[in-house]
Structure 1
Amino acid sequence: MGTNGDNAGSEPPTSPTATVSNAGVPPSPQTTAEATEKTKNVNQEIPGDGTFLVGREIRPGTYRSAGPAEGGSPCYWARLKGATGTDGETVANGAGKGQATVTVLDTDKAFQTTGCQTWKRLG
């Protein structure tokens, strides 16, 4: 009995496999209807309270609020040249008990609002 190169009685050889690693590769962003709607609303509306970065969270443009939110406090807004909370960052501000209109410029760093109804982008 000689050997003729057959692998009789043994398992067939396996094919080589490649291992693919995704290490260091960020996952693909997922877009959902809710995320799309939030982005759309953030670009068109500004909630009544908070500090919002221009160009990132809100777009430059003219916004209008119907006035103070429920509670009686005046509606306060400020256009800011910085977002660190230090003195001297206010470019312009205002407060009142009636309707307010503000133009946020692309040179502003942030827009701050407190006690106001939702700001809606005009045009």
Structure 2
Amino acid sequence: MSDTRRRRAAAGLLAPAAALTAITTAAPPAAAQPMDPIPGNGFFLVGPDISPGLYRTAGTASVFGVWINDVPTQDSMCLWFTYSTPDANKDNVVSTNISMGPMFANINSTVMAFESRNCQPWTRVS
């Protein structure tokens, strides 16, 4: 094998290692900003996902409501929970509400998580 060919082969072997080094030494990604508005469906941690504050939703995200004996079904309504722990354990619910129309959720600094089901997006009002 010629000297030039050996250099080309060695360069080919080193190129992937150099590329890998560049990838592994890149700066870490910037921390994500808390969401505002908060999506109408999901489980969110207070701090990394959402900021504490008073939030408002326009109500249910259902296109139509299902009523049984003049009462809307739970699937037709917007439902939210706040939790004292960072998980969805129903034993740790601090507050909750259910409605078809507009409502507020106070997500204060003592709350660790917020869950929303079938709601329009939540916008921070204060």
1:90 has 2:93 as partner: yes
What's the offset of the Cα at 1:96? Answer: 0.6
Paired with 1:113 and 1:94, the residues of 2 have a C-alpha distance of 10
The amino acid that maps onto 2:102 is: Q
Deviations 1:7-28 (A, max 9, x none): xxxxxxxxxxxxxxx6xx7631
Deviations 1:85-105 (A, max 9, x none): 323110000101110111101
Query: Which of residues 46, 49, 66 in structure 1 aligns to 2:58?
Result: 66
Query: Which of residues 111, 120, 123 in structure 2 aligns to 1:120?
Result: 123
What's the offset of the Cα at 1:79? Answer: 0.7
Change in CA separation of 1:117 and 1:107 when aligned onto 2, cut-off 3 Å: same
* Kept after mapping to 2: 8 A contact 1:83/1:89: no
Superposition pairs of residues 41-60 of structure 1, within 5 angstroms: 42=35, 44-60=36-52
What's the offset of the Cα at 1:70? Answer: 2.4
Which is further off, 73-82 or 85-94?
85-94
What's the offset of the Cα at 1:83? Answer: 2.8
CA RMSD of aligned residues (A): 2.7
Superposition pairs of residues 2-17 of structure 1, within 5 angstroms: none
The runs of at least 4 consecutive aligned structure 1 residues that moved more than 2 Å come to 83-87
Whichever structure has more helix as a proportion of its residues is 2
Q: State the partner residue of 1:28.
A: 27
Structure with greater Cα Rg: 1
